[in-house]
């Protein structure tokens, strides 16, 4: 599917589609989670990374690190949005690139700036999503002092992890990540451990992968599907000319993990994907982007202050996540009227006929 | 599995009348936790924060 970030594009959704989608009583959903791309570079060269290895290359135009002025401006915009919508809490994810490249002091300063603008009216949950190679005691002391949680990306045991998650030199990163997680598991820091993310690799046994991750004692974990689209299909997913979806390698892989996770008398860890699917099946509303039809309430603030959609869209085409908005000139509420944001918030109305005809479209979300 | 079976299997469950004491006996606590969450969400109008998929 071709596409570009030009505002004159005729790709769906357009401003005309927006009028149709939002006719009647529809109101936008306030943003509740803000992803701050605090560092635009990374010390790893993971070969599936949507920031550096796929269609979008906008990282090249970003400053290396988010400046203090940009953080302050972001905090002002978030506080403005929270106040307008009387939000009791927001989540702020410090992301990248690799956020720990910013250094421990950066996180202390960022936490102070955000909390001074938002609290006590709006509680702030701060999380760092890291590749785990730069965890030190000094860093963890700062995170502990400022109540900042830490989540790490690990792809299983040593062989599975090092297949894709390597340094630019080609050396695997598993040893450094395992050492970092060992520190994080110490008594004084364990409460900061938010969880693990693992990208599915079909060539590695699913149960072995899951049990390797369990070895780190995470409070929760999730499996991410490798990025793909109709133009560039995910690894191991050959073209299906029938369009009937009879080839399901990722479902088969995840089903094996589910059976292992679900079969124990007492749950060993929270597994977000399965938890959310069960929750939606039982009539609940999903709490993670990518499952169900709940309105997306996530906004990304790029390193230079640009406001963007969820940056996993960057796997599609260059500029796919762009909105043309910036925190220096635009409010978060203006972002809520962007056609692509509306499309991710209007639920069933945004699904094509093929998706609506599917018996599980309310669980999948299309 | 036929398409009709799939529709039935994924039909959303009506929680009214489900006794949590019965759920406590369920072998898998994930299911019980999910039902408890749905009940809590029904009582608390403030929706929990929808998380970015690439963070946890």
> What ipTM does the predicted assembly reach?
0.75
Report chain A (366 residues): mean pLDDT per 10 consecutive residues: 41 66 78 96 92 86 97 98 96 97 97 98 97 98 98 97 96 98 96 97 97 97 89 76 71 95 88 90 83 91 95 83 95 92 85 88 86
Q: Does B40 touch chain A (CB under 8 A)?
A: no
Q: What is the pLDDT of residue A44?
A: 96
Kindly indicate the confidence band of residue B22, based on its pLDDT and cuts at 50, 70 and 90.
low
**Over 50: is that where the pLDDT of B1 sits?**
no
Q: What is the pLDDT of residue A362?
A: 87
State whether the Cα torsion A133-A151-A205-B3 is positive or negative. Answer: negative
Q: How many CB atoms neighbour CB B4 within 10 A? A: 9
Q: Does B46 touch chain A (CB under 8 A)?
A: yes
> Which residues from A are below 8 Å from B48, CB to CB?
287
Could A129 and B56 be called an inter-chain contact, meaning their C-beta atoms sit closer than 8 Å? yes
Q: What is the pLDDT of residue A56?
A: 86
Could B54 and A129 be called an inter-chain contact, meaning their C-beta atoms sit closer than 8 Å? yes
3-state secondary structure A201-234: CCCCCHHHHHHHHHCCCCCEEEEECCCCCCCCCC
Q: What is the pLDDT of residue A5?
A: 40
Instruction: Name the residue facing A195 among B41, B52, B56 (closest C-beta).
Output: B56
Q: What is the pLDDT of residue A232?
A: 81
Q: What is the pLDDT of residue A313?
A: 82
Q: What is the pLDDT of residue A15?
A: 63
Q: What is the pLDDT of residue B47?
A: 56
Shortest distance, CA A329 to any CA of chain B (angstroms): 24
Kindly indicate the confidence band of residue B5, based on its pLDDT and cuts at 50, 70 and 90.
very low
Q: What is the pLDDT of residue B27?
A: 45
Q: How far apart are CA A57 and CA A62, in angstroms?
A: 10
Q: Which of residues 14-33 of B touch A (CB under 8 A)?
A: 14-15, 27-31, 33
Give the tokens for residue A354.
Answer: 């093929």
């Amino acid at each position: 599917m071709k596409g570009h970030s030009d505002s004159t594009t005729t790709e769906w959704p357009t401003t005309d589609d927006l009028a149709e989608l939002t006719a009647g009583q529809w109101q936008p959903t306030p943003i509740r989670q803000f992803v701050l791309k605090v560092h635009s570079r990374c010390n790893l060269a993971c070969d599936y990374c949507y920031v550096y290895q796929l269609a979008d290359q906008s990282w090249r135009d970003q400053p290396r690190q988010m400046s203090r002025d940009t953080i302050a401006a972001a905090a002002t915009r978030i506080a403005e949005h929270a106040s307008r919508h009387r939000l009791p809490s927001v989540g702020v994810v410090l992301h990248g690139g690799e956020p720990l490249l910013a250094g421990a002091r950066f996180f202390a300063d960022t936490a102070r700036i955000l909390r001074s603008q938002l609290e006590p009216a709006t509680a702030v949950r701060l999380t760092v999503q890291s590749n785990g190679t730069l965890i030190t005691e000094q860093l963890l002391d700062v995170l502990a002092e400022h109540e900042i949680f830490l989540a790490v990306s690990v792809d299983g045991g040593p062989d599975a992890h090092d297949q894709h998650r390597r340094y630019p030199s080609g050396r695997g990163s598993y040893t450094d990540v395992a050492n970092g997680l060992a520190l994080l598991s110490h008594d004084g820091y364990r409460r900061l451990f938010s969880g693990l993310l693992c990208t599915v690799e079909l060539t590695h046994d699913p149960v072995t992968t899951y049990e390797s991750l369990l070895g780190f004692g995470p409070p929760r974990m999730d499996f991410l599907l490798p990025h793909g689209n109709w133009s560039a299909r995910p690894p191991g997913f050959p073209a299906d000319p029938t369009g009937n979806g009879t080839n399901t390698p990722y479902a088969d892989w995840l089903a094996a993990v589910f059976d292992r996770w679900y079969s124990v008398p007492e749950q060993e860890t929270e597994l977000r994907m399965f938890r959310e699917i069960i929750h939606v099946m039982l009539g609940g509303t999903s709490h993670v982007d990518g499952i169900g039809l709940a309105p997306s309430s996530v906004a990304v603030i790029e390193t230079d202050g640009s406001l963007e959609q969820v940056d996993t869209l960057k796997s599609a085409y260059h500029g796919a996540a762009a909105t043309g908005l910036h925190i220096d000139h635009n409010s978060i509420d203006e972002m809520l009227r962007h056609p692509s944001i509306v499309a991710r918030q209007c639920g069933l109305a945004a699904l094509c006929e093929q998706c609506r005809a599917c018996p599980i479209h309310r669980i999948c979300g299309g | 599995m036929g398409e009709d079976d799939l529709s039935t299997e994924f039909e959303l469950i009506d929680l009214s009348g489900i006794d949590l004491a019965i759920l406590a006996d369920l072998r898998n606590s994930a299911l019980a936790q999910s039902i408890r969450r749905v009940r809590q969400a029904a009582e608390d109008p403030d929706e929990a924060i929808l998380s970015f998929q690439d963070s946890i």
